[in-house]
Amino acid sequence: MRKIVFFFLSLFSFLSFAQEDEGKSTGRQINIVYGANFTKDEAQFPGASIFSKDDERQVQFEHQGADLWCDIAIFYAQENRLKAIGNIRMQQGDSIEMNSGKMDYDGNTRLAKAWEKVDLTDGKMTLTTDTLYFDRENQLSYYRSGGKVVDSANVLTSIIGNYFMELKKVQFRKNVHIDNPEYIIDSEQLDYYRQSKNAYMYGPSTITGEEYKIYCERGFYDTTIEQGYGVKNTRIDYNNRIIEGDSVYFDKTSSFASATNNITVTDTINQGVVRAHYAEVFKEKDSLFATKRAVAINVVQNDSLYIHGDTLMVTGKPESRIIRAFRNAKFFKTDLAGKCDSIHSEEKTGITQLITDPIMWNLDNQITGDSIHLISDLETDQLDSLKVLDNAFIISLDTISKTGYNQAKGKDLFGKFIENELKIIDLVKNTEVIYYMYNDDQELIGIDKTICSKIRLIMANSDIEDITFFVNPDGDIFPDKDLPKESRKLKGFIWRGEERLRTKDDIFDFDDNNITLIQIRGIDNPVDIDTEERERSGNLPAEESQSPNTKAVNPKKVKVEKTVDSSQ
């Protein structure tokens, strides 16, 4: 008898509502499926019908594809809304289910507000929070006071969260934190696609893994394979190297990282720095490749040594690092500079080799030979000695006359640095010298032209202070007027003063200084990340996958992001 009464009461309630609000679509009306016990309390709930569960089942309502069960329902039929209390379960379709202690639901706006131990699940993800809003009209659920999302891969928490159900995307904002057995992510804003497990980060963001740490202010990360990139103020701490650049790509599986535009790679052990516009780091091989205005910078005796080449390679463990500069290689230090085809510098031996057509300047001295080696003291890390092998030739402009050239040549040259200055030079085998000699009043005494088996030059402030000839020297001091101009240059003399590198910027040529940097997607004008996600998953037509005004750095390293309206 009770159920029959309930049926008529329900029917009456429904018909009354329909008559009083004929302008509303009946399709939006909340329907009572099972009301169990019925009562009214006009004093506390004017105009409401109160339903409560019985011994058989809970109260049940249905509205446009969603069912709601609860212990008590306060139903305002005329306003098309209800308040649910106790053991609430709302189910939409076969997958979406929300549970809570209390809920308000508006049938006109299809907006539910649930609170007290709220959880929402779609079978593969569970969202928990104290208060959750479920906007069925836009298929959006959101919280504003802290929440947690758990799926098969990650545990994600934030203060603010939006779950876009059709996109299967959760947008987290404010104190975002991802916990994974392999890494931790902290960010100000992060969009997470549940199916792909891809994360897109905005604002200061940090990814901390067992062997790496990534910081960026806009980036992408595939949380399943630990692969991603950062754009805008990106930095990776990676196996005793710090990699910074406009765009940095990272792949844990292959132990690989690369960077594009305005790059700095810092060796945290040897305190060396490499700068370039493109670089690759191979962790397992402990190697670095750099190009596009590439330069390696190392500190030598409180001075910086710059090594440049079209291509730089840094390989080996920290104590055995080798720097190689290929093609158009140059180096500069305040009192030492040079260039050649390639440079090979080894940490373990302290030897820096200038290979193929080398030339070096030590202050005002020009030194050439078939091969030049600079040797550092391994204990003090200071320049110790110099070797010039085959066709050694040293030239300096006579500082007084400014027209003549002091010259010395031999098969090989061996030099000794004292306090970073080239002080002693020994030339051996078939040596020759031309030297302008002056008295204390700086008057030219004559020009010394001598050949012998060995010559030792003692240098001071880049000038020859003393000359010693060994083993049967043959020569003379000629008055200026008695030595013809054509006899004042040794065979093989070539003065290359116009090529001298006088500042660290001289190591770069015209091409280095006029590189067109690759345009990185997302660094200035972020694009739609939903489009980016479809592009990455292969669900976007090829003709739509990339703007014609945008160039990707690498098919694996697409650079995009989009800030999201914080009002959502």
Classify 188 in phi/psi space as left (phi over 0), alpha (psi -120 to 50) or beta.
Answer: alpha
| Phi/psi-derived region of residue 316, left when phi > 0, alpha when psi is between -120 and 50, beta in every other case | left
Query: pTM of the predicted model, to two decimals?
Result: 0.78
Residue 152 has what pLDDT?
A: 86
The pLDDT score that the predictor gives to residue 6 is: 43
Distance (Å, whole) CA 14 – CA 53: 20
CA distance 228 to 220: 5
pLDDT of the residue at 558: 32
Task: Enumerate residues 6+ apart whose C-beta is below 8 A from 318.
Answer: 240, 267, 269, 270, 347
Choices 1.10.150.80, 2.60.40.10, 2.30.30.100, 2.60.450.10: CATH for 303-507: 2.60.450.10
Record the tokens describing residue 53, joined without a space.
């569960």
Residues 6+ apart with CB under 8 A from 223: 153, 154, 178, 180, 183, 185, 197, 198, 199
Which tokens in the block code for residue 339?
A: 């260039």
Q: Identify which of 298, 230, 180 has the alpha carbon closest to the alpha carbon of residue 520.
A: 230
For residue 257, give the H/E element and its range: strand 256-267
Cα pseudo-dihedral 32, 38, 41, 45, rounded to 10 = -20
Both tokens assigned to 91: 């189910």
Sign of the CA dihedral with 514 first, then 518, 524, and 525 last? positive
> Mean pLDDT per 10-residue run, the chain (568 residues)?
41 41 58 93 93 94 94 95 96 91 95 95 91 94 94 92 91 93 92 90 90 89 90 85 90 90 88 91 88 88 86 87 92 91 91 94 91 89 89 92 91 89 90 91 90 89 82 87 90 93 92 88 70 74 36 33 34
Taking the C-alpha atoms of residue 103 and residue 100, their distance in angstroms, rounded to an integer, is: 7
Q: What backbone torsions phi and psi does residue 21 show, to the nearest 5 degrees?
A: -140, 65
Residue with the two structure tokens 């306003």: 79
pLDDT given at position 549: 30
Domain extents in the chain: 303-507
Rg (CA), the chain: 39
Q: What count of Cα atoms within 13 Å lies in the side-chain half-sphere of residue 350? A: 14
Instruction: At 473, list the tokens.
Output: 């020297």
Q: Name the DSSP class of 442.
A: -
Query: H or E segment at 161?
Result: strand 160-164
Residue 431 half-sphere exposure toward CB, CA atoms < 13 A? 26
* Secondary-structure breakdown of the chain: helix, strand, coil percentages, each rounded to the nearest 5: 10, 55, 35
- Mention every residue, 6+ apart, whose C-beta is less than 8 A from residue 55: none
Question: Residue 487, by phi and psi: left (phi above 0), alpha (psi -120 to 50) or beta?
Answer: alpha
Cβ atoms < 10 Å from Cβ of 288: 25
Query: In sequence order, what are the beta bridge partners of 393?
Result: 368, 409
The residues with which 216 forms a beta bridge, in sequence order, are: 205
pLDDT of residue 471: 81
CA 483 – CA 131 distance, rounded (Å): 100
* DSSP bridge partners of 72: 52, 85
544-547-553 Cα angle (round to 5): 115
From residue 470, alpha-carbon distances to 341, 356, 380 in Å are 34, 30, 32
Alpha-carbon distance of 227 to 250, in angstroms, equals 6
H or E element at residue 513: helix 510-513
pLDDT of residue 506: 93
